[in-house]
Structure formats: structure tokens, C-alpha cells
Chain A
């Protein structure tokens, strides 16, 4: 019985720490995004004299002929297309890599695992993209995102394939269902849990990606949401309020995903690391 108050004290302490370390910065960003420039430059936690929600967020959305809106469109398009391609490419590879084990597939698996560690070589990748005529284009960045997310997602699919019994394939073969139909009609639907994980994880990862668009999709016309914030950093040196309004805007989509898919995100992120 003596421990109860101690336990409560520890818990209150832990909550207080998280409030200071995580929630105060969060509140600070939101408050500052609604202040006027001189209030914002004070960098404190005071409430704004006037809540400039419409004014500041409007100014960010209108900046540079609606660059942020266009960036939202670009980022959404890039994310959606990459996820679609990623699912098809990774499910097919995971399927064959798990079902067929020989020298060739082992070599491919090794190359995929290497991709989990090795950083991409940027300039030669730009060179390859240019050779394909896809540098600075949306299809180009989509293929880059697919290529660089491929190892992680393909391994997720391969690991999950182990739990689908081979007897199922054999039964389908006897019933005359083979090749592409076996995969698309029977195996792929059963991979749905991994597909869900890949969708949610890549949605967050690709939407938040900064480095790849910086290298492979330069140019104001093609800006992604992360690049707009990067550009605003030099543009709005004295306007922390507008800078933070953009921070809030571009953080909303991943946080909304988190609210709805909290479990899947956490489970998916750990599945890849604990198993393999």
C-alpha cells in the first residue's frame, strides 16, 4: 500500500516531463503561427493580441502565386503514384523471392538487403534520370521514391509470404489457376495486411521526404510541400509567424494519418525491424 503514492508521483512526473519536452514546442508553433511578426519575433508562449489565423495562413497559401497549394497538389500526386507503384512492384518481388529459393533469387535478396543500408549515390542517379529523360519531372521523382523505398517494403512482403501456406498455391494450380492469376486473384488479396502497412508508412515517408525532391526535383514549378518550407526559410527570415503557419500546414496530413492509423503505423514500423 505504501507504494501507491510513489507510483502516482512517478507518473505525474513523467507526464510533466512530456508536457515540457513535447507539448510546449507544439503549442509554441501553433501560437506563433497566429501572431503578428513583431509578437512572433519575441519567441515566447504568450497568447497573440489578435488571433491572425485567416491572415497568416492565407498569406502563406497565397505566397508566390499559390506555391504552397501547388506544392500540396504535387506532394499528394507524388505520394499516391509512388504508393501504387510500390505496392505492385514490391508484392510481386516479395512473392517470388520467398517462394522460389535458388542462387538467382538469393542474389536478388542480398542486393535488396544491401539497399537497406547503403545510401544512394546522388549525382550518378541524376545522371541516370537524365539519361531516361525524367530528371526534374514528376514521373522521375516517383520512380526514385519507388526505387529507394523498394528494399524495406519488399522485405516486408517477403517476410509475410512465409505465413501463406504453399499448399494454397498447389491447390490453386490443380484447379488450373496459375501464373499471373494465381498471384493476382489468390495471393495478393491475402497480402492485404502488409499492403495496408506499406500504404500508411510510405504515405508518411514520401510526403515528408525532403532530400530526394531537393536533389531530383529542383525548380519552383515542381515544389513539394517540404521544399516550400525550405524556400520560406530564406524568404521569411524575420517572419516566424508565416514560417510556422507553413510548418503547421505541412504537418497536418501526417498527423491526421497518425490519429486514424496509430496502431498500423507503430506495428508496421516495428515489424520490419524486429523480425528481420
Chain B
């Protein structure tokens, strides 16, 4: 088997992948560690040590990206995990409009981020926007969603959840559907009610699905760029700037070394947050 496996499953099958993925993802990632320590014009470079990193941590307009990125990732991830679970559990029930509800919750996933951003820019307009007009009829004075420094980031995070919660929901539905029905039957015989079902069966047994949602949406939140860029371009001031949007700004300003340092930082942030998180979650999954 061994010699035949060598010729049958030849490494040649991997070469196209290694050329494309290696040349345009792995190699640039490795090289980025070097160029992050330079002042770089793409043709010419000067070695500057850790200067770029120091700039990132000390320049307030850059350092704010760490806090914003973390807030954005935690808020979007948290809301998707909780709402996705509630919607998923609800949509696993017997409802006449279940097909409609699932479809309507999912379709924003298929819209492009930029189309969603443009739409909400208009809906969140401080005076004419539909959201504030609707709030006004209820007697509530709506805030300037994207112009107020205290809530602009949360407003964008809310749109992110609007677009992405359907994805979390379908992952939960897949997980909840795979729970054997006899657990629920046993609970009914013991006199449990709907809350008990949700709390003691659906919640603990949809754990693998929940872990997927946590990891996917947390990493997605850390890497997020296009929605913020479409809606606020990092403003007002730098209050909605994420690491990824700062990278884009430095890149368009021609600060290639600094932009690359930003990418290295994002690489490190994702690794030190997401990798241990995944370890922790899968470990607890096995213990169940």
C-alpha cells in the first residue's frame, strides 16, 4: 500500500494549490514580518526595527484601533451568539410561517456588505432617516447614529448583526435539529415545560453549533473592514476605526511599512485571541 499510495496520491496534486496559496497567501504572510520593520516604497526599503510597531501603540489615532476592534468583535459576536440561539431555537418549532421566517432572516447574508452599508447610511440619517422618523412617532428622539462619537461604533456593529445573524441562526438550526428527540420526550414525561426544554436540553446540546458561531463571528469581527469603511470611513474622528481600516488608511497614504506592521499586529491579535479561544471551546465540548 505504501509504495502504491506514493504514486497514486502523488504530491503533484498539491502543486497548483501550493503555487497559488503559497505564492499569494503564505509567502506574503511570512514576508510581512520582515517588511513590517521597514520604511518601504515597494521598490526600496530602509530597516527601521520596531519603529512601526511603536508608532502603532503610541500614536492615538492608531492605538484607538485596538480598543475599537475588540469592542466591535465582542459586541457583534455576543449578539450573534445570543440572538442566533434564540432565533434558531424558535425556528426549530412548528410554525406555519417557518419557511418564510428562515428565508427572510437569511437573505441579508447574500447582499454585498457595501449595498447594506449604503442602505443603512440612509436609514440611519439623523433627521430624515426612517429609523429616527419611526422613533419620533413613538415620542423618542433618536440619536445621530453614525455621527455621535459614543454610539457610531455600536451602530455599525448593529448593522453587522442585522446582516450576519441569519448565518448564526442556520448554524444553530443545524445543531439543534441533530439533537435526538427522545431527550425532549423524556423531559416531557418528567413534567418539564418549554423553558426547561430550552435551558436543560437545547442550550447544552447545541454547544458544538454555539462554538462554531462564537469562533466564526469573533474572527470575522476582528478582521472586519468593509462595513465600517462603507458606513463611516472610521469617523467621526477615529472613533470607529478598526485595525483593518487603519491598515487601509496607511496603505492609501503610501505608508507601506506601517500598513504591513498593522497586518502583522492583526495576525498576532487574531492568533492570541482566537486560537486559545478555540482550544478552550473544543476542550469543553469533549467534556460534555
Contacts and interface: CB of A to CB of B under 8 A. Distances in A.
Interface of A: 11, 14-15, 18, 21-25, 28-29, 32, 41-45, 85, 88-90, 92-93, 95-97, 99-100, 104, 108, 111-112, 115, 117-130, 132, 143-144, 146-148, 150-151, 154, 169, 173, 178-179, 182-183, 204, 207-208, 210-211, 214-215, 226, 229-230, 233, 240, 243-244, 247, 250-251, 254-255, 257-258, 262, 265-266, 269-270, 273-274
Contacts of A95: 9, 13
B266 A119 contact: yes
Interface stretch (B113-121, B148-156, B183-191): B113-121
A210 B113 contact: yes
A274 B108 contact: no
A165 B244 CA distance: 44
Contacts of B110: 204, 208, 251, 254-255, 257-258, 265
Contacts of B8: 99, 169, 173, 178-179, 182
Contact of B7 (A179, A254, A257): A179
Nearest to B115: A247
Nearest to A236: B118
B183 to A, nearest CB: 19
A121 B24 contact: no
A117 B73 CA distance: 14
A22 B108 contact: yes
Contacts of A119: 223, 244, 263, 266-267, 270
Contacts of A215: 248, 251
Query: Is chain A's binding surface mostly helix, strand, loop or mixed?
Result: helix
Given A25-B123, A88-B16, A211-B225, A15 B97 contact: yes
Interface stretch (B25-33, B54-62, B195-203): B25-33
A121 B267 contact: yes
A43 B129 contact: yes
Contacts of A18: 100-101, 104-105
A217 to B, nearest CB: 14
Interface of B: 4-5, 7-11, 13-14, 16-18, 20-21, 23-29, 31-32, 35, 40, 42, 90, 95-97, 100-101, 103-115, 118-120, 122-123, 125, 128-130, 133, 162, 167, 170-171, 173-175, 208-209, 212-213, 216, 219, 223, 225-226, 230, 244, 247-248, 251, 256, 259-260, 263-264, 266-267, 270-271, 274-275
Given A90-B17, A128-B23, A250-B115, A123 B256 contact: yes
B162 A117 contact: no
Nearest to A142: B20
A250 B266 CA distance: 31
Given A266-B170, A269-B170, A274-B171, A120 B14 contact: no
22 contacts: A11-B96, A15-B101, A21-B162, A22-B108, A89-B17, A95-B13, A96-B9, A115-B21, A118-B267, A119-B244, A121-B264, A125-B24, A128-B28, A143-B20, A151-B21, A178-B8, A208-B111, A210-B114, A226-B114, A244-B118, A251-B110, A251-B115
B267 A273 contact: no
A22 B161 CA distance: 12
Given A119-B244, A132-B23, 6 more contacts: A14-B90, A14-B97, A85-B20, A92-B17, A111-B26, A274-B208
A226 B130 CA distance: 25
B31 A124 contact: yes
A97 B13 CA distance: 9
A210 B271 CA distance: 25
A45 to B, nearest CB: 7
Contact of B209 (A123, A127, A178, A274): A274
Contacts of B244: 119
A154 B14 CA distance: 11
A122 B259 contact: yes
B130 A11 contact: no
B16 A144 contact: no
Nearest to A225: B112
Contacts of A154: 17
A124 B122 CA distance: 36
Nearest to B178: A274
Contacts of B97: 11, 14-15
Contacts of A182: 8
Given A28-B130, A254-B110, A121 B28 contact: yes
A129 B105 CA distance: 39
Contacts of A125: 24-25, 28
A88 B174 CA distance: 29
Contacts of A115: 21, 25-26
Contact of B107 (A148, A208, A226, A255): A255
